[in-house]
Amino acid sequence: MDAVCGGESNPSERPEARAHIILKTRNRNDRADGRPNEEAMQGRQSQKLLIIDDNPAVRNMLTRLFEEYGYRTASVDDGLKALQAARIEKPDLILLDVMLPGMDGFTVCRMIKFDRLLRSIPVIILTSRMGEEDEKRAYEVGADAYLVKAVRTVIIVDKVRELLSRPPGAADPPR
């Protein structure tokens, strides 16, 4: 399955001028037709992902992708809703955009990592911002991973699997 997904929302940009990414979901555990292997999906039905992105196309694409892989999902479209949703949904992992209305993703991540009830939830910053300063800042505020939206979905899925397979409280691997 290939999907094309828009980058950051910017009302001044024409939709067709937005940065687009091609996301390939084929993984070594997938069947020949590109769909997830049923055995590889076992155990994921109980894992929930919270997708935080103001772009509905990105939210919908990530929701479809991860639900196809057997994960449950919830999503919100702004930073203020994100903190409330994290407390209510109790996700196993959060996929977080940086440029959000209400509160930017860096602030959301910092607040999650300072909250004693939420701090153990892995956070992946998933953004179209490619600057080294943004990546450095993401790790400074406590993100567990930083991915640019211009990566194939298999990389996103693999990072989610990696972070969800770590024992709670495990030290982060070197970056």
Our count of domains for the chain comes to 1
* Assigned domain for 148 exists: yes
* Assigned domain for 60 exists: yes
Residue type at 133 in one-letter notation: E
pLDDT per position as a tens digit, 10-67: 433 333 333 333 333 334 445 544 555 555 455 556 899 999 999 999 999 999 999 9
* Assigned domain for 170 exists: no
Alpha carbons 90 and 156: distance in angstroms, whole number: 21
CATH number where 80 lies: 3.40.50.2300
* Assigned domain for 90 exists: yes
* Assigned domain for 152 exists: yes
pLDDT per position as a tens digit, 61-103: 999 999 999 999 999 999 999 999 999 999 999 999 999 999 9
* Assigned domain for 116 exists: yes
> Sign of the C-alpha dihedral, residues 71, 75, 143, 91?
negative
Maximum Cα–Cα distance across the chain: 45
Residue type at 40 in one-letter notation: A
* Assigned domain for 174 exists: no
> Sign of the C-alpha dihedral, residues 63, 64, 65, 71?
positive
Cβ proximity of 52 and 83 under 8 Å: no
**What is the DSSP-derived secondary structure letter of residue 20?**
E
Question: Residue 35 is part of which domain span?
Answer: 2-165
Alpha carbons 3 and 102: distance in angstroms, whole number: 28
* Assigned domain for 171 exists: no
Q: Is 28 exposed, middle or buried (0-12, 13-18, 19+ CB in 10 A)?
A: exposed
The radius of gyration of the chain's CA atoms, rounded to the nearest angstrom, is 15
pLDDT over threshold 70, residue 6: no
